[in-house]
């Protein structure tokens, strides 16, 4: 990615705040507004027929096609596993993850796509971008998504000393707290590169498990939106952690068909913390 100048900031005090992913959905609860993800209902432009037996649906979602159900699953996890590349759930749950943002255009566009389908995702943000675009981080959190720590400068951590790694984590955590009032609960190393010793240190010092992935469409190589979609649909499995980058416009272009394709195959979207909190997860 294109590197930007890093802003110099005074480090703020750490504020003890609840974790970011108590995903109490603000939308009207109940199954009334949820089209079952396992159904084969195609995205429809037909007007909804209103009759005596028609259940209420919030207006914002009328004619939106497939939509993730409200997933008020627990997000508190307490396992001792330091690294995860997938969830152990046998339920058809997937966690979409988006790295390297927030980006001033692509991330809001992606948020619109997610909101239209009631999909909650996890954003591994770069601390420098958080300080540049704090309002977008606030929107991410306000719309029920989870924020993860993706370092401040996006350097390869394997070449850094322990104190530098800690500084990367701390500065990013501080930036996220300042921007949105929540603390990240997991981290993802740039390029997936992190030594075992470093993972253990980060786990003990910050309580962050290291989150890798089980599905990688290589979207950063910009293979084209349809290729990104087909790679994700082909690779998806129960408990998948899917890697993508909201930094890249073609990746965001691929998301409507990717989301709709996963929904039509019966997958449901949850956040990384919710995936880790699933029963059976170490």
Residues acting as catalytic residues: 99, 245
CB of 209 to Zn ion, least distance (A): 17
Contact set for Zn ion, span 8-47 (CB under 5 A) = none
Task: Select the span of 30-38, 49-57, 91-99, 103-111 touching Zn ion (CB under 5 A).
Answer: 91-99
99 binding Zn ion? (CB under 5 A): yes
For 51: left if phi > 0, alpha if psi spans -120 to 50, otherwise beta; the answer is: beta
**Residue number with the shortest CB distance to Zn ion?**
99
Q: Which stretch binds Zn ion (CB under 5 A): 99-107, 163-171, 210-218, 234-242?
A: 99-107
Nearer to Zn ion by C-beta: 97 or 118? 97
Sorted by sequence, the CB contacts under 8 Å of residue 51 that are 6+ apart come out as: none
What residues numbered 178-197 form the site for Zn ion, per CB under 5 A?
Answer: 190
Least gap, CB of 124 to Zn ion (angstroms):
7
Three-point CA angle 87, 225, 267, nearest 5°:
30
**Are the beta carbons of 99 and 242 closer than 8 angstroms?**
no
- What separation in angstroms does the CA of 131 have from each of 152, 168, 173, 180? 10, 14, 11, 11
25-61 CB burial, b ≥16 within 10 A, e <16: eeeeeeeebbbebeeeeeeeeeeeeeeeeeeebeeeb
Q: φ and ψ at 114, to 5 degrees?
A: -65, -45
Number of residues that bind Zn ion (CB under 5 A): 3
Stretch that binds Zn ion, among 95-103, 162-170, 174-182, 252-260 (CB under 5 A): 95-103
| Beta carbon nearer to Zn ion, 117 or 150 | 150
Q: CB count, 10 Å around CB of 232?
A: 26
Sketch the per residue contact string, 129 through 168, with Zn ion: x for CB under 5 A, - otherwise: ----------------------------------------
Closer by beta carbon to Zn ion, 77 or else 213: 213
By beta-carbon proximity to Zn ion, the closer residue of 61 and 133 is: 133
CB of 100 to Zn ion, least distance (A): 4
Give the nearer residue to Zn ion in terms of CB position, either 99 or 168: 99
Span between the terminal Cα atoms of the chain, in Å: 34
* Smallest separation, CB 108 to Zn ion (Å): 19
What Cα–Cα distance (Å) separates residue 266 from each residue in 11, 37, 202, 209? Answer: 45, 5, 35, 28
User: In the complex, which residues of this chain contact Zn ion (CB under 5 A)?
Assistant: 99-100, 190
């Amino acid at each position: 990615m294109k590197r930007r100048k890093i802003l110099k900031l005074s480090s703020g005090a750490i504020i003890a705040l609840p974790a970011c992913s108590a995903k109490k959905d603000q939308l009207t609860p109940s199954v009334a507004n949820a089209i079952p993800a396992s159904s084969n209902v195609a995205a429809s432009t037909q007007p909804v027929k209103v009759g005596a037996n028609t259940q209420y649906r919030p207006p914002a979602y009328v004619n939106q096609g497939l939509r993730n159900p409200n997933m008020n699953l627990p997000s508190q996890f307490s396992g001792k596993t330091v690294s995860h590349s997938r969830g152990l759930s046998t339920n058809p749950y997937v966690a979409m993850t988006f790295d390297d943002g927030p980006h001033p255009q692509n991330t809001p566009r992606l948020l619109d796509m997610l909101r239209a389908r009631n999909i909650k995702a996890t954003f591994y943000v770069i601390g420098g971008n958080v300080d540049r675009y704090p309002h977008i981080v606030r929107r991410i959190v306000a719309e029920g998504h989870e924020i993860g720590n993706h370092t401040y400068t996006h350097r390869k951590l394997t070449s850094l000393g322990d104190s530098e790694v800690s500084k990367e984590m701390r500065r990013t955590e501080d930036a996220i707290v300042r921007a949105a009032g929540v603390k990240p609960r997991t981290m993802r190393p740039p390029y997936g590169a992190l030594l075992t010793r470093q993972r253990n240190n980060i786990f003990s010092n910050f309580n962050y498990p290291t989150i890798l992935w089980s599905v990688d469409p290589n979207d950063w190589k910009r293979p084209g939106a349809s290729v990104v979609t087909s790679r994700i649909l082909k690779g998806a499995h129960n408990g998948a952690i899917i890697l993508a980058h909201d930094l890249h416009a073609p990746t965001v272009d691929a998301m409507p068909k990717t989301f709709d394709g996963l929904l039509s195959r019966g997958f449901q979207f949850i956040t990384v913390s919710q995936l880790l909190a699933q029963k059976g997860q170490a």
